[in-house]
Amino acid sequence: LVNSTDVNLSFLLYNNLIRRSEGEAGAPLYPELADAWEMNEDATVYTFYLHQGVFFQHGTPFTAKDVEYSINRLIDPNFICTVGPALGVIDRLEVADEYTIKIYLKEPNVALPYMLSEAGMQIVPHDRTTEELTKEPAGTGPFVLAERIPGERIVVKRNENYWAEGQPYLDEVHLVVMPEMAAKVAALSSGEIDILQQVGYDMLPALESSADVTIVESLQSIYPIFAMHVTEAPFDDLRVRQAFKHAIDRVALHNTIMQGRGAIGNDQPIGPGSPYWADVQPLAYDVEKAKQLLNEAGYPNGIEVTLAAADTGGPRVTDAAFAIQEMVNAAGITMIVEKIPASTFYADKFMKAPFFTSWWPAYSEPDGILPLSYATHGIYNLSEWSTPQVNELVTTGREELDTEKRKAVYAEAQAIISAEGGVIIPYFAPYLQAVRSNLRGHIPASRIVYQQLWFA
318-363, pLDDT tens digit by residue? 999 999 999 999 999 999 999 999 889 999 999 999 999 999 988 8
Is-contact 206 291, C-beta < 8 A?
no
| Confidence bin at 179 (pLDDT 50/70/90) | confident
Question: What gap in Å lies between CA 354 and CA 331, rounded to an integer?
Answer: 20
Question: What gap in Å lies between CA 121 and CA 10, rounded to an integer?
Answer: 10
Instruction: Determine what percent of the chain is predicted with pLDDT higher than 70.
Output: 99
Question: What gap in Å lies between CA 394 and CA 155, rounded to an integer?
Answer: 42
Is-contact 81 120, C-beta < 8 A?
yes
Is-contact 253 320, C-beta < 8 A?
yes
Helix or strand or coil: residue 153?
strand
Model pLDDT, residue 5: 63
Query: Is the backbone of residue 278 left (phi > 0), alpha (psi -120 to 50) or beta?
Result: alpha
Phi, psi (degrees; rounded to nearest 5) at 207 = -75, -40
Model pLDDT, residue 443: 86
Residues 6+ apart with CB under 8 A from 28: 20, 21
pLDDT of residue 170 exceeding 80, the answer is yes
Tell which CATH classification among 3.40.50.150, 3.40.1390.10, 3.10.105.10, 2.40.50.100 matches the domain 220-430: 3.10.105.10
Q: What is the CATH number of domain 10-129?
A: 3.90.76.10
Residues 6+ apart with CB under 8 A from 114: 18, 20, 29, 364, 365, 367, 368
Cα of 278 vs its chain's centroid, Å: 19
Residues 6+ apart with CB under 8 A from 176: 1, 2, 4, 152, 153, 187, 193
Q: Which pairing describes strands 427-436 and 263-264: parallel, antiparallel, or unpaired? A: antiparallel
pLDDT of residue 430 exceeding 80, the answer is yes
- Which residue spans of the chain are classified as CATH 3.90.76.10? 10-129
pLDDT tens profile 282-331: 999 999 999 999 999 999 999 999 999 998 767 799 999 999 999 999 99
Say which DSSP state 440 is in.
E
| Confidence bin at 8 (pLDDT 50/70/90) | confident
- Alpha-carbon Rg for the chain, nearest whole angstrom, is 23
Cα of 145 vs its chain's centroid, Å: 25
Total-model pTM: 0.90
* Mean pLDDT, all residues of the chain: 93
Question: What gap in Å lies between CA 27 and CA 252, rounded to an integer?
Answer: 29
pLDDT of residue 40 exceeding 80, the answer is yes
Model pLDDT, residue 2: 47
How many CA atoms does the CB half-sphere of 452 hold within 13 Å?
10
Model pLDDT, residue 451: 95
pLDDT tens profile 370-412: 999 999 999 999 999 999 999 999 999 999 999 999 999 999 9
Cα of 283 vs its chain's centroid, Å: 25
Model pLDDT, residue 4: 44
pLDDT of residue 121 exceeding 90, the answer is yes
Which carries the bigger pLDDT value, residue 200 or residue 145?
145
Question: What gap in Å lies between CA 437 and CA 191, rounded to an integer?
Answer: 10
Is the four-CA dihedral 285, 291, 296, 299 of positive or negative sign?
positive
| Confidence bin at 111 (pLDDT 50/70/90) | very high
Mean pLDDT of 137-160: 95
Is-contact 313 222, C-beta < 8 A?
no
- Which residue spans of the chain are classified as CATH 3.10.105.10? 220-430
Model pLDDT, residue 3: 43
Question: What gap in Å lies between CA 368 and CA 384, rounded to an integer?
Answer: 18
Model pLDDT, residue 343: 87
**Of all helices (H) and strands (E), which one includes residue 356?**
strand 355-361
Helix or strand or coil: residue 144?
strand
